[in-house]
Chains A and B, each alone.
Chain A
Amino acid sequence: DQQVKQNSPSLSVQEGRISILNCDYTNSMFDYFLWYKKYPAEGPTFLISISSIKDKNEDGRFTVFLNKSAKHLSLHIVPSQPGDSAVYFCAASGHNQGGKLIFGQGTELSVKP
Chain B
Amino acid sequence: NAGVMQNPRHLVRRRGQEARLRCSPMKGHSHVYWYRQLPEEGLKFMVYLQKENIIDESGMPKERFSAEFPKEGPSILRIQQVVRGDSAAYFCASSLAGPTGELFFGEGSRLTVL
Contact = CB atoms under 8 A, between A and B. Distances in A.
B77 interface: no
A79 interface: no
B69 interface: no
A103 B99 contact: no
Contact of B48 (A44, A100, A104): A100
A70 B28 CA distance: 39
Would you call the interface of chain A mostly helix, strand, loop, or mixed?
loop
A96 B99 contact: yes
A103 B42 contact: yes
A65 B31 CA distance: 29
Given A43-B91, A98-B99, A103 B44 contact: yes
A98 B95 contact: yes
A89 interface: yes
B99 A99 contact: yes
Contacts of B103: 46, 98-99, 101
B50 to A, nearest CB: 10
Nearest to A93: B99
A97 interface: yes
Interface in B1-56: 4, 31, 33, 35, 40-45, 48, 56
Interface string B100-114: 111111111000000
Contacts of A42: 107-108
Given A41-B107, A104-B42, A105-B42, A99 B101 contact: yes
A42 B43 CA distance: 13
**Central interface residue in B42, B99, B104, B105, by most chain A CB within 10 Å:** B42
A102 B44 CA distance: 7
Interface in B65-114: 91, 93, 95, 97-108
A44 B40 CA distance: 15
